[in-house]
Amino acid sequence: MIKEDKSLKVLDVKDTANILKLLGDKTRLSMVSMLAEQECCVCEFVEIFQMSQPSISQHLRKMKDLGIVKEQRKGQWVVYSLNTTSEYYLLVRELLKHVPSQREKFDWLEEKGLRITCY
C-alpha cells in the first residue's frame, strides 16, 4: 500500500497561479499568516495595517472568494479564520512555513487594548 503524503495535494497550474497571485500581496500574506495563528475580526485588521476599512474588507473578500478564508458573524463583528477544508489549505500552510510568525501583531493589539475577539 502506498502511503499518501498528507502535506501534498497537486493542483492545476492555473489555480495555483491564482492562489499565489492572491497571496502575492504583503497585506494579504500577513493576514493569512495571522489567521494561521488565531482568528481575527475586520476592525482588528484595520488597526494592524493602518489601512481604510473598505480596503481591508476587499482584501478579505478576495480571499473568501477563493475559499482560503471563511467568515463568521459574532454579534456586531465579523470574525475571519483560515478555511482548513479548502483544497488550497495544504499549499497555504506550506507557504506560511517560509514566513515569520505574526504573533507579535496580536500582542500589539492586546497592549493597545484593541483586541476584540473573545476566546
- Residue 37 site contact among DNA, a second copy, none (CB < 5 to 8 Å, cut-off depends on kind): none
Q: Which of 8-16, 77-85, 88-96, 101-109 is the region at the interface with DNA (rule: CB under 7 A)?
A: 77-85
Q: Does 105 bind DNA (CB under 7 A)?
A: no
CB neighbour list of residue 105: distance below 8 Å, 6 or more residues apart: 30, 34, 48
Between CA 9 and CA 88 the distance in angstroms is 8
Size of the site for a second copy (CB under 8 A): 31
- Whether residue 96 contacts residue 32, with contact meaning beta carbons closer than 8 Å, is answered with yes
- Closer CB to a second copy, 1 or 13, in the complex: 13
Q: Does 87 bind a second copy (CB under 8 A)?
A: no
Between CA 59 and CA 49 the distance in angstroms is 12
Q: Does 29 bind a second copy (CB under 8 A)?
A: yes
- Closer CB to a second copy, 76 or 85, in the complex: 85
Judged by CB under 8 A, which of 53, 99, 107, 108 binds a second copy?
Answer: 99
CB neighbour list of residue 53: distance below 8 Å, 6 or more residues apart: 42, 43, 46
